[in-house]
């Protein structure tokens, strides 16, 4: 399919990538949403928290929504997408990566950008009563979603997917966050959160996790070399980034899938705009608006609801049909 020409046109005064990224955080929406929480026990003895939002549609359809780095199911962009899918006639399941829920996970390991195993277990657990399932992922969760779709045959009930603001080339995105001066605020927030999580883990696993000097870490290169890679079986950050990047799996995707990446996303580089893969695929669509930032996409046409929510619903409706 050719690259989709995007219709997203925000007002000129909020077109900047950093403005688009930060504004939804500064102006959070009030979304009425009551989750029904479930704990899923995993095969390795750990657990995940699953948050269900059901709309009682006659069509048995489910959207599984996956959050980004150090996010969770109560993030505004997750609650917004869950609500939008409910309105469109889909039950929704938002799930938290290990350690991103209401309590720390049990094992020394946590989550990473290429870990599709937990998503696979969530899907296997959730799909029993549904006829159609779609996957929606944001940022790191989008990379996990796209990698899952392309690395092996997916569950037969998965009929479509969408991913928003996805660093599908982890090496270049890690470098962008580490080295671009404009990204220092985001980098500091991510590293502070990740280090705090490792420190909490170290209280339970003092022999496995050495936290001496951890608070001096200033980059993803340092953090992933010291913690993410060895904890999850990779040689170093470089191998972790290479093995976990979704771009190498896009050509194998077999269900209609939309990737929305903004050209001015401060987390992304040219490597995260897979034009050749979209042009040669019968299933994979790339939409790359000039503006949108990282998980932003505000155009103020429907209050503070981002355009990306409406666009994902539109794409899935086109692919799977409208509600009842």
Q: Are residues 147 and 262 in the same domain?
A: yes
In the chain, % of residues over pLDDT 90: 96
Whether 254 has a pLDDT exceeding 80, the answer reads: yes
Is 139 labeled as catalytic in the residue annotation?
A: yes
Query: What average pLDDT does range 122-133 have in this prediction?
Result: 96
**Domain limit, last residue, from 222, 244, 266:** 244
User: Which of 51, 115, 265, 299 is flagged as catalytic?
Assistant: 265
| 293: its two tokens | 């930032």
Whether 150 has a pLDDT exceeding 60, the answer reads: yes
Query: What average pLDDT does range 301-320 have in this prediction?
Result: 96
The whole domain housing 45 covers: 12-169+249-320
DSSP 245-292: -GGGGGGG--S-EEEE--TT-TT--GGG--HHHHHH-SSEEEE--S--
Assess if residue 234 is contained within a domain. Answer: yes
**Domain limit, last residue, from 191, 213, 244:** 244
Whether 178 has a pLDDT exceeding 70, the answer reads: yes
Domain count, the chain: 2
User: Which of 6, 53, 83, 139 is flagged as catalytic?
Assistant: 139
Q: Are residues 44 and 187 in the same domain?
A: no
Distance CA 80, CA 74 (A): 10
User: Which of 91, 291, 294, 308 is flagged as catalytic?
Assistant: 294
Query: What average pLDDT does range 211-219 have in this prediction?
Result: 97
Q: Are residues 107 and 182 in the same domain?
A: no
Query: What average pLDDT does range 174-188 have in this prediction?
Result: 97
Is 112 labeled as catalytic in the residue annotation?
A: no
Query: What average pLDDT does range 187-192 have in this prediction?
Result: 98
Query: What average pLDDT does range 43-63 have in this prediction?
Result: 94
Distance CA 151, CA 136 (A): 17
Whether 137 has a pLDDT exceeding 70, the answer reads: yes
Residue 133 near residue 283, CB atoms below 8 Å = no
**Confidence at residue 323, expressed as pLDDT on a 0 to 100 scale:** 80
Query: What average pLDDT does range 230-236 have in this prediction?
Result: 97
| 31: its two tokens | 């979304």
Q: Are residues 228 and 193 in the same domain?
A: yes
Can you give the pTM of this predicted structure? 0.97
Whether 256 has a pLDDT exceeding 70, the answer reads: yes
Whether 1 has a pLDDT exceeding 70, the answer reads: no
The greatest distance separating any two alpha carbons of the chain, rounded to the nearest whole angstrom, comes to: 57
* Number of Cβ within a 10 Å radius of residue 155: 13
**Confidence at residue 322, expressed as pLDDT on a 0 to 100 scale:** 87
Q: Are residues 135 and 271 in the same domain?
A: yes
* Number of Cβ within a 10 Å radius of residue 68: 27
Whether 312 has a pLDDT exceeding 70, the answer reads: yes
Q: Are residues 179 and 138 in the same domain?
A: no
Instruction: Give the per-residue SS3 of 292-304.
Output: CCCCCCCCCEEEE
- What rounded mean pLDDT belongs to the chain? 96
Is 113 labeled as catalytic in the residue annotation?
A: no
């Amino acid at each position: 399919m050719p690259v989709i020409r995007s219709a997203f046109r925000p007002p000129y005064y909020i077109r900047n990538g950093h403005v688009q990224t930060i504004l939804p955080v500064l102006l959070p929406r009030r979304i009425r949403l009551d989750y029904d929480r479930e704990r899923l026990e995993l095969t390795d003895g750990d657990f995940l928290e699953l948050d269900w939002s059901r709309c009682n549609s006659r069509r048995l359809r489910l959207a599984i929504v996956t959050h980004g780095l150090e996010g969770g199911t109560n993030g505004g962009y997750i609650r917004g997408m869950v609500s939008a899918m409910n309105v469109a006639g889909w039950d929704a399941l938002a799930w938290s990566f290990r350690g991103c829920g209401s309590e720390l996970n049990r094992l020394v390991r946590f989550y990473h950008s290429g870990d599709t195993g937990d998503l696979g277990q969530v899907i296997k657990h959730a799909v029993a009563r549904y006829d159609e399932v779609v996957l929606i992922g944001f940022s790191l969760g989008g990379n996990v979603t796209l990698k899952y779709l392309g690395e092996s045959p997916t569950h037969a009930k998965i009929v479509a997917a969408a991913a928003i603001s996805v660093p599908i080339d982890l090496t270049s995105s890690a470098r962008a966050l580490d080295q671009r001066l404009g990204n220092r605020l985001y980098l500091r927030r991510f590293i502070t959160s990740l280090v705090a999580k490792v420190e909490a883990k170290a209280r339970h696993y003092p022999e496995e996790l050495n936290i001496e000097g951890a608070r001096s870490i200033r980059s993803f290169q340092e953090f992933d070399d010291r913690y993410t890679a060895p904890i999850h079986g990779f040689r170093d950050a470089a191998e972790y980034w290479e093995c976990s990047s979704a771009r190498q799996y896009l050509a194998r995707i077999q269900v209609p899938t939309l990737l929305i990446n903004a050209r001015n996303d401060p987390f992304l580089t040219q490597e995260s705009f897979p034009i050749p893969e979209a042009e040669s695929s019968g299933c994979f669509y790339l939409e790359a608006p000039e503006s949108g930032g990282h998980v932003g996409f505000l155009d103020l046409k429907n209050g503070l609801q981002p355009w990306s929510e409406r666009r994902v619903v539109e794409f899935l409706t086109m692919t799977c049909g409208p509600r009842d």
